[in-house]
Copies of this chain bind each other. A is one copy, B any other.
Amino acid sequence: MAAYVHDVFMLFGDSITQGAWEPGRNGFGQQLSHVYARKLDVLNRGYSGYNTEWGLPVFKQIIAKRTDQHAPKIRVLTIWFGANDACIKPSPQHVPLDKFASNLKEMIQLIKSPESDYYSPETRIILITPPPVNTYQRRADLEARNPPLKLDRLFDVTREYAEAVKRVGRETGVATVDIWSEIWEAAGEDEASLSQFFPDGLHLNASGYEILYKALIKTIGDVYPEVHPDNLGFVFPPWADIDWNGDTVKSLEARRT
């Protein structure tokens, strides 16, 4: 069995999280795995197609109760939903805006409320807004399917869900990475120009993930510097620090990061 030697950086969200290690995308999951190597285990808890309504019952299973003394601590947790909640009716993925916001708040309170069974004061939470939708690309993608499908997301609707994430962040005191605005600005506030960041109008390509990764690492440095990769040590020592002529085994004992 795998022993608990590393605390955890958990990435919770939908397909844009699940796909964050995909070859050729230089996704934020892969990049975090690299910079946190030997410091924190970066865990993929992304679920393609999921909205917050389906994510909430899953969340209660992937986090452990405070009574579970054996479970690794979650030192950083990203919560990134909205791209599917913002689907328009009659999509089964649609979640009304108010419900979306209350679901996010419930996830946050599960971790932050001292009354919660899952209370975890050492967990730094970062909300991420959904990226903007490029409906030119998305419509073309759906119309090319067999049978063709109708457009299921609208630019202005997803923007409202991004605004709701920022509101939840303010109301709960949780740091928020506003990737909606970062990508929108990088595209010169022109919807058709968003195609440089998406393969399909919805998921991020390498350029899109690069914006996200940089914004996320900056937020960690600004708001939670104690868990920035530069400020965490290795659990096991760099090889030059091993006491190879003396008590080698003792010098190789795991350290808390």
How many of these chains are in the complex? 2
List chain B residues, Cβ under 8 A from A5: 61-62
Q: Are the CB atoms of B23 and A54 closer together than 8 Å?
A: no
What are the interface flags for A217-253 relative to B under an 8 Å C-beta threshold, 1 for contact and 0 otherwise? 0000000000000000000101110101000110011
Q: Quote the shortest CB–CB distance from A29 to chain B (angstroms).
A: 7
Give the chain B neighbours of A21 by CB distance below 8 A: 21, 30, 33-34, 37
Which of A10, A41, A49 has the most chain B CB atoms closer than 10 A to its own CB? A41
Q: Is the CB of A72 within 8 A of B1?
A: yes
CB pair B23–A68 under 8 Å, yes or no, is no
Residue numbers in B under 8 Å from A46 (CB-CB): 37-38
User: A254 contacts the other chain (Cβ, under 8 Å)?
Assistant: yes
Query: How far apart are A30's CB and chain B's nearest CB, in angstroms?
Result: 5
CA distance A93 to B24 in the complex (A): 35
Q: Identify A2's interface contact among B10, B33, B57, B92, CB under 8 A.
A: B10
Known: A21-B34, A57-B252, A253-B61. A71 touches B236 (CB 8 A): no
Given the known interface contacts A47-B239, A58-B236, the answer about A2 and B74 at a Cβ–Cβ threshold of 8 Å is yes
Given contacts A49-B238, A54-B242, A92-B244, contact A1 B73 (CB under 8 A): yes
B23 contacts A26, CB within 8 Å? Answer: yes
**A63 and B23 contact, CB distance less than 8 A:** no
User: Which B residues lie within 8 Å of A54 (CB)?
Assistant: 239, 242, 244, 248, 252
Report B-chain residues with C-beta under 8 Å of the C-beta of A172.
none
Check A62–B3 contact: CB distance below 8 A.
Answer: yes
Interface residues of chain A, those whose CB is within 8 Å of chain B, are: 1-6, 8, 10, 18-19, 21-24, 26, 29-31, 33-34, 37-38, 41, 43-44, 46-50, 53-54, 57-58, 61-66, 68, 70-74, 92-93, 120, 236, 238-240, 242, 244, 248-249, 252-254
- 9 A-B pairs closest in CB distance: A49-B239, A1-B71, A1-B64, A70-B70, A21-B33, A3-B64, A21-B34, A57-B252, A2-B8
12 contacts between A and B (CB under 8 A): A1-B66, A1-B71, A2-B73, A3-B64, A6-B43, A18-B37, A19-B34, A30-B30, A38-B44, A38-B46, A41-B43, A47-B239
